[in-house]
Amino acid sequence: MWKKTLCLQIPKKSDGALRMENWSVQAMSYGTGFLFLKITGQQRKYWVIEMNDINRIRWLKEVFEIFDHIASHNEPYRWKSEKLDIEIDIFPRVFSPKYLSDSEWYADKVGFMAEGKSLLEVGSGTGLAAVWAGICGASRLAATDINPMAVKNTEHNLALHGLEAEVVNGDIYDGLSEKSYDIIFWNHPFNIEYEPGDIILRAAFDHDFNGLRKYVSEAESHLNENGRLLLGSANYAHPEKIGKIADESGYRLEIVCAENLPLFSHDSFKAELRLYEFVKK
């Protein structure tokens, strides 16, 4: 008998592109308080996750639907952040703030904290946080992303707003110059369960939080004295695991600010967005 188990079938990379347009989602009840969710595509990978509540199941379903929308864009398009009152261009195959509210929320918080300070944005995507930090008066900017298209997108949007930065194609800190920063920030992928074959899904999944371990354990050599190590996350993003990773590297985890917001632009599903700081013990 099935108990607290979610089985998913997920497409992998095929011919250099994601095949998300043909996914189907089925949800069937198996006993009180349990749901079996199946997502299918042209190519399938099976994975089993221990689940404790129906909200987590709905969360994962929404994540894959959002990335279906993101992958549907074949050309760059312009998007306006109503919260920040700025426009940026979004390239194909780059994580898009058009469909999720968290990018704007983190950019708003981090940007004002960066006034007069140097900032490194890890996993920059479109570069929204770096751009807003520059507009808010950051003294120096840098950004990294593992996705080459995201690097181009970040460079483009910085130039669009007359800003300069060191932008590097690399995993977390790989490829950066020897400079250090007053603030390092990452809008961290919330999900731990899946190791994606396609780079676009790296914006949603950090398998076993291996990227986060690197982010925290190697941060000290990239931070100025009294520098701040920040992380964008949420209540659905395994906070107990984040706390454990912090502890392993000699940090304690503090919530700088938090707010309950609709995460997905197309419905009212709410998450508690959190801006964490890793503070040395």
Q: How many domains does the chain have?
A: 2
Query: What range does the domain containing 96 cover?
Result: 77-280
Angle between helix 210-217 and helix 239-248 axes, rounded to 10 deg? 40
Contact yes or no for 29/35 (Cβ under 8 A): yes
Q: What is the mean pLDDT of each run of 10 residues along the chain (281 residues)?
A: 37 37 38 38 39 61 80 94 97 93 96 98 98 98 97 99 97 93 96 74 86 97 96 92 97 97 72 96 92
- Among the listed residues 257, 262, 261, the one whose alpha carbon sits nearest the alpha carbon of residue 274: 257
- 65 and 10 within one domain: yes
Check whether residue 179 and residue 217 sit in a common domain.
yes
DSSP character at residue 191: B
Task: Say what the pTM is.
Answer: 0.82
Same domain, 29 and 122: no
Task: Mention every residue, 6+ apart, whose C-beta is less than 8 A from residue 147.
Answer: 93, 94, 125, 169, 199, 200, 202, 203
Q: Residues 99, 189: one domain?
A: yes
